Amino acid sequence: MNREKSNHLYERAKKVIPGGVNSPVRAFKSVNNTPFYVKSADGAYLVDEDGFRYLDYVLSWGAIILGHAHPGLIEEVSKAISVGTSFGACHRYEIELAERIVEAFPSIDMVRLTSSGTEATMSAIRLARGYTGKEGIIKFIGCYHGHVDALLVKAGSGLVTFGIPDSKGIIADYAKHTYIADFNSIESVHRIIKNNKNIACVIIEPVMGNMGVILPEETFLKDLESMCRENEILLIFDEVITGFRLIYGGAQHIYNIKPDITCLGKIIGGGFPIGAFGGRKDIMDILAPTGDVYQAGTLSGNPVAVRAGIYTLDYLKKNQSIYKQMYEYSTTLEKEILDLANSYGIPYRINKITGMWTGFFADTDIHNYAGAIKSDRQLYERFFKLMLEEGIFFAPSPFEASFLSLNHKEDELIKTIDAFKKVFKRLSHG
């Protein structure tokens, strides 16, 4: 593929933007490639500056559930822009979006809007510390909650007592309050809590999406909820990805969990930057201006993003058959891909839930971080490049989720299966 215009833009970008990108994964470094530059998007497709058209399974990392440039959404946003792009003051639409979120989540009595998912998780942790008077945080290796200092830590082995900074610029004395547990291992959480009585909260993606899709096993989330209750630890669900993507609501509805605080983003802005965190009234009431935990943002509740979110949530509520459509699409896709992998001798496993899925090049099932990182990264790199040649855009990393929109229909299914057949055949020949 001759991406002359995209390559030229990338060279320009590197002169004025660190690494040429505004978010690291966009650099395509993990697949030893250079990024294409999007010129336009429509439905399930992206078109780059060189005129190549791609069937999009990244979908702005899950935010675009109605498809790109959805006509009704564009009309609503146009109306919003026509009366002002930012007020820095209260307006009725932020109330309307908050009301919809509260109605959709039984665990949320009150909600505060932010400008990003990272702001939501950062604020939720500060809130948990303020409410409990404790400092410690438990997170799970492989779960990503934004570039918050306290959360950019990793484990040197399956379980370590203290977190190690995963980025320069993070103070070790600050990161040491973050403890690392293993996803799907309630025993690892128990060991941390047993040895540390200063835990304010546990934060988790109930369905992992940032190490690829990894589902919670059996009673893991229920056991985690019970353990938090028994030890007066707040449970925070990071549903920035899963909120309104799996169901009208979140993963907590599917697994019958009632977290103390929920973080949202992506879909609730209809493709515009937004985030939110909410929970029980007694917890949320300690936020300023009614309480002493400070959190603020000039663009929080931005009128354009909020109206886009209202439109999107209303559309999803009225058209919940979208979730059935996505489930049927992913189920058919899974069967066809696994049949192809088997016939061509390709080690491949698929983890999926409605609206999101990940294919791992592995010969065993993936249940946690340790399993995911053993998957074949070099094989994924070849797969990614070959799929681009076939006009299919997957995430430029083996450890990300793929997403569906309402515009992924029969034609897109056929195109995808045909591409997998061609690519697996080429991979099988070395």
Residues 129 and 209 occupy one common structural domain: yes
Name the catalytic one among 48, 238, 311, 380: 238
pLDDT score, position 188: 96
Split into its structural domains, the chain has a count of 2
Active-site residue, from 144, 311, 323, 348 = 144
Q: Which of 318, 349, 366 is the last residue of a domain?
A: 318
- State the pLDDT at residue 158: 30
- Say whether 166 is catalytic: no
pLDDT at 154 (0 to 100): 54
Q: What pLDDT shows up at residue 305? A: 98
Confirm whether 266 is a catalytic residue.
yes
User: 271 and 187 share a domain?
Assistant: yes
Q: For 315-356, what is each residue's pLDDT tens digit?
A: 999 999 999 999 999 999 999 999 999 999 999 999 999 999
pLDDT in the model for residue 159: 31
Give per-residue pLDDT as tens, 265-299.
Answer: 999 999 999 999 999 999 999 999 999 999 999 99
Same domain? For 343 and 362 the reply is yes
**Predicted structure pTM score:** 0.94
HEC string of the chain equals: CCCHHHHHHHHHHHHHCHHHCCCHHHHCHHHCCCCCCEEEEEECEEEECCCCEEEECCHHHHCCCCCECCHHHHHHHHHHHHCCCCCCCCCHHHHHHHHHHHHHCCCCCEEEEECCHHHHHHHHHHHHHHHHCCCEEEEECCCCCCCCHHHCEECCCCCCCCCEECCCCCCHHHHCCEEEECCCCHHHHHHHHHHCCCEEEEEECCCECCCCCECCCCCHHHHHHHHHHHCCCEEEEECCCCCCCCCCCCHHHHCCCCCCEEEEEHHHHCCCCCEEEEECHHHHCCECCCCCECCCCCCCCCHHHHHHHHHHHHHHHHCCHHHHHHHHHHHHHHHHHHHHHHHHCCCCEEEEECCEEEEECCCCCCCCHHHHCCCCHHHHHHHHHHHHHCCEECCCCCCCCEECCCCCCHHHHHHHHHHHHHHHHHHHCC
Domain that holds residue 336: 4-69+321-428
Question: Are both 65 and 78 inside the same structural domain?
Answer: no
In the residue annotation, 144 being an active-site residue is answered as yes
Q: What is the pLDDT of residue 192?
A: 96
Residue where a domain terminates, one of 285, 318, 351: 318
Question: Of 318, 352, 379, which residue is a domain's last?
Answer: 318
Name the catalytic one among 139, 266, 348, 380: 266
What is the model's pLDDT at position 151? 73
**Residue ranges in the chain modelled with pLDDT below 50:** 155-165
What pLDDT does 161 receive? 30
